[in-house]
C-alpha cells in the first residue's frame, strides 16, 4: 500500500470497514495476543520513479503509526489472527514497518518486520511476470493454445490460450482450495497427472473468453507450462530468474520441509479456539500461491515493485 501525498490517513472506522483489502495490501496475516515488536522508520533505497523525484509534504509518522496500531489491535482483539505485520511504502520507499502479536504462539515468538509469511495468491503476480518475460523473449505467445505446451490436456473442444489462463477467463473448472473435499486432497503431494485426473476432465464452466472467474487451477497450469518451456521447475526458475535479479533473496518457495528463518506458523480458529493450521501441500499449486516473504521489510517486492522493472512497459497492458 502506498500513502497519499498528504499527511491525512483513514479513520479507524474506515480501516475496519476495509479490513479485507488491508489483509491483502497492508497486512500480511498468518501466524501470532500482545502487541509488541520492533518498529522502525525504514531507510530502504527508493525505487526510481518520477514520483520519487518530486517534493511532497513530510509524513506524520507518529500519526501513521497510531492508525496502524489501531488496525492491528482490532484484528488481534477480534480473534481474526494471533499476529501480523504491517508495512507502508511511499513513492517506492518503505516508511513504516512493525509486527504485532505472535508469529508462533507455541514458541512465544513475537511477530516483527522480519517475519516471513505465506503470501498466497500474491504469488500469481510473479507467475504472470515470468510468463510476460517469456513472451518478450519469444519463447511463447499469449495467443498460443495451451495444448502447444500441454498436448495431453483435455480442452474438450475449446480453444484455450495462455492469455485466458493469465486473466482468469479460460472457463476451466476452478478448484476451491478451502472446500473441505479439496483440503483433504491437497494434503497430498499430487503430481501433474493426478491433478489432471482430478480436475481437468470436469466440464468447462463457460466458453473461454466469455467471462471472468478467478481460477487457481489456471495458474497451476501456467506453472507447469513455465517448467516445460524453460526446462526448469517453476519454483526454481522463479527464484533464479526473477527473485534473484530483483534482489528478493528473502522471497522463496514455502515448502514445509524447507528451513525458512523467521517463518510464521499458520493457525485456524475452530469453535472459537486457536488451532494449528492443517497441512496443505505447496506442490499442488506452486504458481498459484506457494511463496513466502518478509513483507514488512521487502522494499522492492509487490509492495513497491512495478512490472516494468522486469519486462518492457508496453507489455503491461497485454
List, for residues 102-113, the tens digit of each pLDDT value. Answer: 999 999 999 998
> 62 is written with which cell numbers?
507518529
Split at pLDDT 50, 70, 90, the class of 284 is: low
Residue-level pLDDT at 219: 92
- Residue ranges and CATH numbers for the domains of the chain are 12-115+294-305 (no CATH), 124-243 (3.40.710.10)
Residue-level pLDDT at 26: 39
Spatial distance between the Cα atoms of 259 and 280, rounded to a whole number of angstroms: 17
Q: Note the pLDDT tens digit of each residue in 48-87.
A: 444 444 456 778 889 999 999 999 999 999 888 899 999 8
Q: Which residue has the higher pLDDT, 19 or 129?
A: 129
Q: Which residue has the higher pLDDT, 281 or 3?
A: 281
> 66 is written with which cell numbers?
497510531
Q: In 3D, which of 213, 216, 207, 193 has the Cα closest to residue 160?
A: 207
> 182 is written with which cell numbers?
479439496
Spatial distance between the Cα atoms of 19 and 91, rounded to a whole number of angstroms: 23
Query: Across residues 286-292, what is the average pLDDT?
Result: 61
Spatial distance between the Cα atoms of 295 and 301, rounded to a whole number of angstroms: 8
| φ, ψ at 84 (rounded to 5°) | -170, 170
CB 267 within 8 A of CB 104: no
> 240 is written with which cell numbers?
533464479
pTM recorded for the entire structure: 0.70
Residue-level pLDDT at 289: 58
Amino acid at each position: 500500500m502506498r500513502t497519499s501525498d498528504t499527511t491525512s490517513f483513514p479513520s479507524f472506522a474506515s480501516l475496519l470497514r476495509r479490513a479485507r483489502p488491508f489483509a491483502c495490501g497492508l497486512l500480511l496475516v498468518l501466524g501470532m495476543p500482545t502487541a509488541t515488536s520492533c518498529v522502525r522508520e525504514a531507510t530502504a533505497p527508493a525505487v526510481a520513479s518520477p514520483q520519487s523525484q518530486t517534493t511532497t509534504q513530510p509524513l506524520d509518522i507518529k500519526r501513521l503509526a497510531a492508525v496502524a496500531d489501531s488496525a492491528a489491535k482490532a484484528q488481534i482483539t477480534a480473534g481474526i489472527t494471533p499476529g501480523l505485520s504491517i508495512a507502508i511504502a511511499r513513492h517506492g520507499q518503505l516508511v513504516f514497518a512493525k509486527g504485532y502479536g505472535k508469529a508462533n504462539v507455541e514458541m512465544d515468538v513475537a511477530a516483527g518486520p522480519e517475519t516471513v509469511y505465506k503470501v498466497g495468491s500474491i504469488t500469481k503476480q510473479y507467475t504472470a511476470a515470468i510468463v510476460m518475460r517469456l513472451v518478450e523473449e519469444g519463447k511463447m505467445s499469449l495467443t498460443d493454445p495451451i495444448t502447444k505446451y500441454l498436448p495431453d490436456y483435455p480442452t474438450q473442444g475449446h480453444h484455450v490460450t495462455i492469455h485466458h489462463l493469465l486473466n482468469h477467463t479460460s472457463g476451466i473448472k476452478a478448484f476451491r482450495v478451502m472446500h473441505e473435499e479439496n483440503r483433504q486432497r491437497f494434503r497430498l503431494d499430487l503430481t501433474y497427472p493426478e491433478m489432471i485426473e482430478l480436475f481437468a476432465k470436469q466440464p468447462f464452466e463457460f466458453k473461454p473468453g466469455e467471462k471472468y472467474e478467478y481460477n487457481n487451477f489456471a495458474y497451476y497450469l501456467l506453472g507447469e507450462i513455465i517448467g516445460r518451456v524453460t526446462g526448469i521447475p517453476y519454483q526454481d526458475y522463479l527464484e533464479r530468474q526473477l527473485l534473484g535479479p530483483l534482489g528478493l533473496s528473502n522471497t522463496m518457495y514455502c515448502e514445509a520441509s524447507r528451513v525458512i528463518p523467521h517463518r510464521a506458523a499458520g493457525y485456524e480458529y475452530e469453535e472459537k479456539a486457536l488451532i494449528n493450521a492443517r497441512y496443505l501441500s505447496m506442490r499442488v499449486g506452486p504458481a498459484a500461491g506457494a511463496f513466502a516473504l518478509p513483507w514488512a521489510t521487502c522494499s522492492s517486492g509487490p509492495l513497491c515493485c512495478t512490472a516494468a522493472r522486469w519486462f518492457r512497459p508496453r507489455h503491461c497492458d497485454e
